[in-house]
Amino acid sequence: MLTLFYAGALTLIALFLAFKTIQRRLGKGVLLGTGESFELLQANRAHGNLIEYAVFFLILTGLMEASGQFSTLTIGILGDIFILARISHAYGIFQPESSSMFRTVGAVASMLVLLIQAVLALWVSGAWLELIIGVFKFLHSNILWLSEITL
């Protein structure tokens, strides 16, 4: 049920950001693109960026929940951090100085949550070990190949 909660929360945030984009489009008279408007670009990217990251978050959250390998607390902490990070990021984008601390903190925290989820997904799926073995085999075959070169 956590995935359902986070899907609902992220949808509300996405709708709010879509509304802000529509407001700015109507205010600038631009129906497609950003029309050289920095304010419209801000709104457009705040909305688009949320959508780009939320997809991976929701897929990984749903799979983590369905696997039964993770506690509700673990999934909840990652989810709460992600929601706060996305709000911080959107708030930061709408600031006059679009490289604000809120935007940076939001972006970094979002990426960290996704990185943690991805690593946990690989670990639990057993693919982690196969990936490491594959990397070692690749390196070993390339090292042997390199050692055959005579100078």
| Radius of gyration of the CA atoms of the chain, in A | 21
Mean pLDDT for 48-60 is 94
Of residues 59 and 37, more confidently modeled: 59
Mean pLDDT for 44-52 is 86
Q: How far is the C-alpha of 86 from the C-alpha of 75, rounded, in Å?
A: 16
Domains of the chain (ranges plus CATH)?
2-124 (1.20.120.550)
Mean pLDDT for 129-146 is 71
Residues above pLDDT 70, as percent of the chain: 84
Q: Give which of 111, 91, 110 is closest to 101, Cα–Cα.
A: 91
Which of 9-13, 44-48, 87-91, 142-146 shows the highest mean pLDDT?
A: 9-13
- 87 pLDDT more than 90: yes
144 half-sphere exposure, CB direction, 13 A CA radius: 5
Indicate the average pLDDT of the chain. 84
